[in-house]
Structure 1
């Protein structure tokens, strides 16, 4: 029996985070700069003899088994896996064939690197590989967004699905009616190597439920909270500044622009930062980082710091007292990859 595999990279959001969330992106247009890294969401579909559907999140130790059906129950358990299956079954039809769907993500859920959306892209990729569906990158990314946000009703933005599908360094524009334009950036290798060397990825060993923070952010826009909306305007401007600095190789500006964004981000919703995050940020700055940010919606998870020169080593030392983990990574140039293992 064949095995259909896929993997999609997680991303570091560098600038503009939150402006991809409706209703802000519908009303004002959003813009984000992000880059994918060598941490992946993996999905494998293995055809089996019995007429069962076996779902397994290997990293979380969760498994569910169902007799073959065209619609799996959305009940809070493995819903991302079920949501993709249900939608593919509805739109394309899957013949009565038992299978095992295994998933694994290289970073914890709620860590701020886009794990949930990237996992949806990976699962979708495995089904696209199995069924040989004629879907391009934009199709897959939008399909993943539709499943997560509309079918499953999960709050969030649009950048993660597109970053996971396209991969690399991208400047993304988010417009009304769910329109997205992905602009891949051609960055000189030495600029990327220096950025990779200087950008520290630190896991705070805490996770958060991004949906609650995002719902508050959406409410602030709907209620025309001027402070919150102005902060989002500034974050959109930050993405343009950071894009220009990266294209020109002006990495000496990087930390300052990140710090500007961090201060703005905290104005968007109440729980984006907290005492622990502020203490970690202050310690990194005192040790030589020139700026940093919270990954994803905020509230916990990963933080990134720009450490020019050789300051990364002092920053790593300074962060040890917080009990987190500095996560090694490399930038990736590719997005979603799928392949078949023939038995």
Structure 2
């Protein structure tokens, strides 16, 4: 049998970084995000050989192991191995060969939550195969636990919950891993206009988010007041974004994004660089009213709010930087699983 899953990537619209410990544990975090029509996919095929075959098609990586309940973590396909190891620990299944293959529609380090979304998709595929009684909160927290605790990868909490729940959500983060997901009932015409005006632009660079996030966390531990105040402002930005979307005050979106862009650079030194600044101000000169770096920063995707028909002038203005715009649509679904 073949067990499949897919989970959507997300755009963070406001509050990014306030879902990272220890900030959210001490002060509480808030993020507004929306899932888009780019996905992470996982497939588990049951095979006759007593082997474990792992393959990431988008990374052109493959490993084959004799059947075992624990696979070695060595920097290759560790996300796949981490989920397999945890599933075998908590929900051990009979000795049978499987082939686990994955694919992600965006490159690693792009700022759209690719790693965490992939973990959610893999957990979903195993939950489908084993018929595990896991709800949305269960799967999101399980994926978070695997990535942050088992694999010791630095990062926040929003991506796992966005990928599992899907749609446009206002998320709250507290101590003891408490997360509250609030789906927003936004009028369709507001979402259509937001989708029309929001340009998703790939800088053609990637970055390692863990180092940026580690510095951000240390700034809270060391009581760097500038960094902490920036996080307070970003949390407030999420509230402003929620209100603007619910009320259809889309003319404020660019300004709210612009506030966040200026605040986010204060959280850690690697978030901004000269290329990002050049792209950002070129976009604003061409008609964008604001924008942001997607994810931890340092590269990957950026988004820009382009009212009216300014999106096309912004695209032309950004051609000089070697990146490219990326088509997308907002999606309402989260993790999906099925068996064939």
What is the TM-score of this pair, normalised by structure 2? 1.00
Q: Deviations over 1:55-104 (max 9, x none)?
A: 00000000000000000001111000000000000001011110110000
SS in 1 for 2:329: coil
Runs of 4+ more than 2 Å apart: none
How far apart are 1:114 and its partner, in Å? 0.2
SS in 2 for 1:46: strand
How far apart are 1:49 and its partner, in Å? 1.1
User: Which residue number in structure 2 is paired with residue 294 of structure 1?
Assistant: 293
Distance 1:328 1:45 in 2: 29
Distance 2:90 2:185 in 1: 36
Does residue 71 in structure 1 map to residue 47 in structure 2?
no
User: Which residue number in structure 2 is paired with residue 30 of structure 1?
Assistant: 29
Following superposition of structure 1 onto structure 2, how do residues 233-248 of structure 1 map, counting pairs within 5 Å? 233-248=232-247
Distance 1:95 1:127 in 2: 13
User: Which residue number in structure 2 is paired with residue 127 of structure 1?
Assistant: 126
Following superposition of structure 1 onto structure 2, how do residues 280-291 of structure 1 map, counting pairs within 5 Å? 280-291=279-290
SS in 1 for 2:181: strand
Following superposition of structure 1 onto structure 2, how do residues 1-343 of structure 1 map, counting pairs within 5 Å? 2-341=1-340
Q: Deviations over 1:117-173 (max 9, x none)?
A: 000000000000000000000000000000000000000000000000000000000
Q: In structure 1, list runs of 5 or more residues that go unmatched.
A: none
Q: In structure 2, list runs of 5 or more residues that go unmatched.
A: none
Distance 1:92 1:338 in 2: 18
How far apart are 1:115 and its partner, in Å? 0.2
How far apart are 1:325 and its partner, in Å? 1.2
SS in 1 for 2:96: coil
Aligned length: 340
Distance 2:268 2:89 in 1: 37
SS in 1 for 2:17: coil
What is the TM-score of this pair, normalised by structure 1? 0.99
Q: Deviations over 1:178-208 (max 9, x none)?
A: 1000000000000000000000000000000
Distance 1:166 1:318 in 2: 36
Distance 1:183 1:234 in 2: 20
Distance 1:282 1:31 in 2: 27
Distance 2:49 2:291 in 1: 51
